[in-house]
Chains A and B, each alone.
Chain A
Amino acid sequence: MTKYLLKRAGQALLVLWAAFTAAYILLQAMPGDSILIKFQDPELGLSPEQIAKIREYYDAGGYLHTVLGFLHGDFGYSVDTGTPVVERLAEGLPETAKLATCAFVLAVLLAVLIAFGSAYSGRLRGLLLAVPSLFISVPAFWLGILLIQVFSFRLRLVPVIGGTELQQLVLPVLTLAVPISAPIAQVLARSIDQVLTQPFVPVVAAKGASRSWILWRHVARNALPPTLTVAGLVFGELIAGSVVTETVFGRTGVGRLTEQAVNAQDAPVLLAVVVLAATAFVLVNLLVDVLFPVLDPRLAT
């Protein structure tokens, strides 16, 4: 058990180290002098002291220096604005965290609704099970536009600009949640079906248990581990999805920052986002692995 966890933690560290190293190599692949030339562009309006600091950072260079910097949250300087990357990240992170958290919660709710709804069988089953395949086929940017069109322009329920914070959040959250809910719903529905075919289910039914009793007290817990795995895997999609969502809705955040970074060829910012996303992904999935033995006593031994 402890051996398993240590092994998983070791693997996670290895993946992170590899991601950091890859980011470093990519940064080196960028011609360094051209980055410095960009900083000296008077249009950025940097003071000589700032330029000196940036020069010092890039001159120091070296693998260890850069990777240790990453570990301290020092990702260098944005080519676009000349400010430290970490400052720009800090600006966007709270907004994106809020958006992503709400979207993740909504996605899970949608998935549970779809999967358990279909498990109660009946006429709705086919229809409900078709929903995730539709959700997964919808381009997020198009969905956002469609939502704006319907709710802001047609029904005038949500103002295009301004409005309360809730009003501002509703459509972006929906846009981000819908594509993410699909894989969770699919895996949950499939594992519910799979658990329902196991021999212990008729045994519970033979005790006189109702369908709801079977589903919620027996099937749900057994169907959870695979669902948790996929939920961990789609976690990365939240960050990717925020790029599109924040762009479509004109919100500030890490996603918007990413889009701006690519437009401005701002490699340090993009790499920082990539490393951040990879770190978050690896940590979340490590957490999932730690939770597994708690959910399934068979793995605890």
Chain B
Amino acid sequence: MSLLDVRDLTVAYGRQVAVKGVSFTVGQGEVVAVVGESGSGKTTTANAIIGLHPAASGEVLLNGVDIAGWSQRRLRSIRGHGIGLVPQDPSNSLNPVMRIGRQIGEILKIHNYGDRADIRRRVIELLTRVGLDDPERRAGQYPHELSGGMRQRVLIAIAIALRPGLIIADEPTSALDVTVQRRILDLIDDLRKEYGTAVLLVTHDLGVAAARADRLVVMKDGLIEESGGVREVLAAPASPYTRRLFQDAPALTARPYKPFDAAAEPAIVVRDLVKEFGPFRAVDGVSFEVRRGTTHALVGESGSGKTTTARVVTRFAEATSGEVVIGGDPAGPRAFRRRVQLVYQNPYGSLDPRQTVAAIVEEPLRNFRLGDRTARRARVRELLERVALPGTLLGRRPAELSGGQRQRVAIARALAVEPEVVVLDEAVSALDVTVQAQILTLLEELQRDLGLTYLFISHDLAVVRQISHTVSVMSKGRIVESGTTNQIFDSPREDYTRELLAAVAEPVR
């Protein structure tokens, strides 16, 4: 008998059916990864198992007992005790106004673990077990005093507090930096081995799933596309969707490095760039050059200073000292805007919700008085075609577009003034793998056809490996190491670079 046996589970939000008859099992001590893109129903499935979202039909057998139809009151005895939950976003998953110790002790209190002293002892024990230093002090702190990785450890301590047979980990590391991500996944692995706990790992990250799971369940549009042992599915995916998903995932498919021509003249030259916010140095003496027609990636974890560098390069922030030269000669503020364009991470926030697609793409043309009305209209159509969007979208507003379509509109707007340099600030990070792959292909095409120079800001090494010619690795405001993509990935010289690379999936390394 399996520990968890989900049979024909269907879940609906009002009229919309999010999960349509899903069946799978999780055995004792096994790691099963449910993977899929956003909207595939993977998180809904996880929530339905612990009854946080009611199942419309189907069975959820936990140790052979169907809990799908249980009342909330009855389910409370299972939650925390039989099934633990490690949530997605550690920054908001702890009550901000309650001390850490109480939040861990709470689960023990709810399930009548013992008296105050017992609970106190067990809390310290748990904090120690998940690897937090100075547990006594941590117990008295508030969540905002802990880093993201530490908070996720606290959440894991809560999940394992009563040694449940199953832990549901819903994107447990997607909000964390890669190096932290690896340590958290290692911790979950250790605990699983120690306690014999099974893990249901819900993730969009195929690299993580491939590295950590015993079996894979691939979901799409509320249905299971494919399931089976990780090795078998990876080696020979049966469904066409799974095949495409694997191909598109930069973490699973290593492509040849891009040839780099060192002879081209530099399009961006950054020298000794420093940016201070009060006493804090966000960027601390950064220098690099980007050759015309190539892509230079700035990689680093959060707080490394990569985004601040991008903002200084695009003149949205002023440098404290140092210099940035674009295209060889200095340009006045307005002329500068025609040479350098920025594409933002969040395609939901960078488009004015009240404008139509046509107005958004036309705006730079109007600002620089490029052509009359008919000429501008023709140019807008051309730009839309350039980014492979149908002309029927011209009258739509951003809310009526998908995430990928929005990012294409943002790219079209950036291209309108025919810039030399496009700075892409995590421009594909918010997108699903398949969409991400399409946008990356588009960017490559545009570079080839228009001779664009890209400064590509990213935390995602797999994506960087695929798109960039040269790379600078950043940490704490400084460039740790730089070179061609080939050099950085195949023969890193610095420990920090090695540590970053160790955190990405096998094929890319």
Instruction: Describe B's contact surface by its main secondary structure.
Output: loop
Give the residue among A198, A199, A203, A222 with the most B Cβ atoms within 10 A. Answer: A203
Is the pair B97, A199 in contact by a Cβ cutoff of 8 Å?
A: no
A120 located at the interface, meaning its Cβ lies under 8 Å from any Cβ of chain B in the complex = no
> Among B72, B97, B155, which residue has the most Cβ atoms of chain A within 10 A?
B97
Q: How far apart are B154's CB and chain A's nearest CB, in angstroms?
A: 11
Total interface residues on A, CB under 8 Å, equals 23
- A296 touches B (CB below 8 Å): yes
Q: Which of B18-26, B79-87, B208-216, B381-389 contacts A (4 or more CB under 8 A)?
A: B79-87
Quick one: given A199-B87, A213-B110, are A206 and B80 in contact (CB under 8 Å)?
yes
**A203 contacts B87, C-beta separation under 8 Å:** yes
B158–A207 CB distance below 8 A: yes
CA distance A209 to B75 in the complex (A): 10
Identify the stretch in B88-96, B125-133, B352-360 within 8 Å (CB) of chain A at 4 or more residues. Answer: B88-96
Q: Which residues of B contact A301 (CB under 8 A)?
A: 144-145
Give the chain B neighbours of A206 by CB distance below 8 A: 50, 52, 79-80, 83-85, 87
Find the B residue at minimum CB distance from A300.
B142
Distance of A202 Cα from B51 Cα, bound (Å) = 11
Question: How many interface contacts (CB-CB < 8 Å) are there between A and B?
Answer: 77
User: Is A210 a contact partner of B76 (Cβ separation < 8 A)?
Assistant: yes
Q: With A207-B80, A298-B144 in contact, is A202–B87 under 8 Å at CB? A: yes
Please state if A208 and B95 are interface contacts (CB–CB under 8 Å).
Answer: no
Is A200 a contact of B93 with CB atoms below 8 Å? Answer: yes
Which A residues touch B83, using CB under 8 A?
206
A200 with B95, Cβ < 8 A, contacts A206-B85, A208-B80, A298-B144 known = yes
Task: Tell me the bound Cα distance from A200 to B78 in angstroms.
Answer: 19
In chain A between 174 and 215, which residues have their CB closer than 8 angstroms to a CB of chain B? 198-200, 202-211, 213
- Bound together, the chains give a CA A213 to CA B50 distance in angstroms of 18
Interface residues of B in 10-62 (CB under 8 A from A): 47, 50, 52
Cβ-closest chain A residue relative to B155: A203
Q: Which of B88, B98, B106, B158 contacts A199 (CB 8 A)?
A: B88
The answer to whether the Cβ of A221 comes within 8 Å of any Cβ in the partner chain is yes
- Whole-angstrom distance between the Cβ of A33 and the nearest chain B Cβ: 58
A200 to B98: give the CA distance in the assembly, Å. 11
Residue B107 CB within 8 A of the other chain: yes
Tell me if B193 counts as interface (CB < 8 A to partner A). no
Residues of chain A contacted by B94 (CB below 8 angstroms): 200, 203
CA gap between A222 and B96 in the complex, in Å: 8
Chain B positions within 8 Å of A211 at CB level: 72
Q: Which of B52, B76, B142 contacts A202 (CB 8 A)?
A: B52
Contact B107 A298 (CB under 8 A): no
Contact of B107 among A198, A199, A207, A296 (CB under 8 A): A207
Chain B CB count within 10 A is highest, among A204, A207, A222, for: A207
Cβ distance A207 to chain B, nearest Cβ, rounded Å: 4
Contact with B along A113-135 (1 / 0, CB 8 A): 00000000000000000000000
Question: With A203-B158, A297-B97 given, is the CB distance from A208 to B92 under 8 Å?
Answer: no
Residues of A within 8 A of B89 (CB): 199
A199 close to B93 (CB less than 8 A): yes
Q: Is A157 an interface residue (CB 8 A)?
A: no
Contact B96 A296 (CB under 8 A): yes
- In whole angstroms, what is the CA distance A277 to B96 when docked? 35
Point out the residues of chain B lying under 8 angstroms from A204, CB to CB: 95, 106
For window 142-177 of chain A, which residues contact chain B by CB distance below 8 Å? none
Is the Cβ of B107 less than 8 Å from the Cβ of A208?
yes
B98 interface neighbour in A205, A208, A218, Cβ under 8 Å: A218
B83, B92, B95, B111: which has the most chain A beta carbons within 10 Å? Answer: B95
Q: In the complex, given contacts A202-B87, A207-B106, what are 11 additional A-B residue pairs having Cβ atoms less than 8 angstroms apart?
A: A200-B93, A200-B95, A203-B87, A203-B155, A205-B52, A206-B79, A206-B87, A207-B107, A208-B79, A298-B144, A301-B144
List residues of chain B with CB under 8 Å of any chain A CB: 47, 50, 52, 72-73, 76-81, 83-85, 87-89, 92-98, 106-107, 110-111, 142, 144-145, 155, 158
In the assembled complex, 13 residue pairs joining A and B whose CB atoms fall closer than 8 Å, in A order, are: A203-B155, A203-B158, A205-B52, A206-B87, A207-B107, A208-B76, A208-B79, A210-B73, A218-B95, A221-B98, A296-B96, A296-B97, A297-B142
